[in-house]
Amino acid sequence: MALSRMDNLYRQVILDHSDNPHHHGELSDKTNDIELKNPTCGDVLKLDLKVEDGKIEDAAFSGYGCTISQASASMMTDAVIGKTTEQAENMVQTFSSMIIGDDVDTDVLEDAATLEGVSKFPARIKCATLAWKALHKALNK
């Protein structure tokens, strides 16, 4: 049946991240933070970053959203902790390209690369990009 197509969207690793999100919560020693809303669905994502000497030392997210947006935030925080802000910005670019179906090398994204299948579900692209947009905005705040 056609529901089986969803396997490409909701891969096991994505469901795992959504069920048990990593770095969920808030940072008491944050240096940057942002709250982003997705006006079409009412989802809210709050992202805290601790940036020191141009490096993301820690990250945490909270809020409310769908499986894709929660998993994406979990995987994004996993991937960017320990990276320089420059590396993180490059990852934002890589993710943005991947999610619209461009052929890019996604190794740097770690688990977040498994969201590649979202490109086949145009209505859900915003869910996947919310966390990365938040990262970009928080870094430039």
Partner 1 sequence: MDNNDFPILHQKVNDEDLVYLDNAATTQKPKAVIEAMEKFYYEDNANVHRGVHTLAERSTEMFEAAREKIRAFINAKSSKEIIYTKGTTDSLNMIAQSYGENVHEGDEIVISILEHHSNLIPWQQLAIKKNAKLKYINLTDDGELDMKQAEELITDKTKIVSVAHVSNVLGVISPVKKLAELAHKHGAVMVVDGAQSTPHMPIDVQDLDCDFFAFSGHKMLAETGIGVLYGKEELLNEMTPVEYGGEMIEFVKKYETTWNELPWKFEAGTPNIAGAISLGYAIDYLNGVGMQKIADYEQQIVSYVLPKLLAIDDLEVYGPTDPKKHTAVISFNLKGLHPHDLATGLDMEGVAVRAGHHCAQPLMTYLGLSATARASFYFYNSLEDADKLVDAIIATKEFFKDGTI
For the CB of residue 33, give the shortest distance to partner 1 in the complex, in Å: 20
Residue (of 100, 104, 97) closest to 122 by Cα position: 100
Find the part of the chain contacting partner 1 (CB under 8 A) among 53-61, 65-73, 81-89, 108-116.
65-73
Q: Are strands 32-38 and 55-64 parallel, antiparallel or unpaired?
A: unpaired
Q: Within positions 27 to 56, which residues make up the interface with partner 1, using CB under 8 A?
A: 40-44
Q: Which residues contact 46 (CB under 8 A, 6 or more apart)?
A: 26, 33, 34, 35, 36, 61, 62, 63
104 near partner 1, judged by CB under 8 A: no
Q: Which is nearer to partner 1, 45 or 49 (CB)?
A: 45
Cβ count within 10 A of residue 27: 18
Contact residues for partner 1 (CB under 8 A)? 1-3, 5-6, 9-10, 12, 15, 18-19, 40-44, 64-68, 121, 123-124, 127
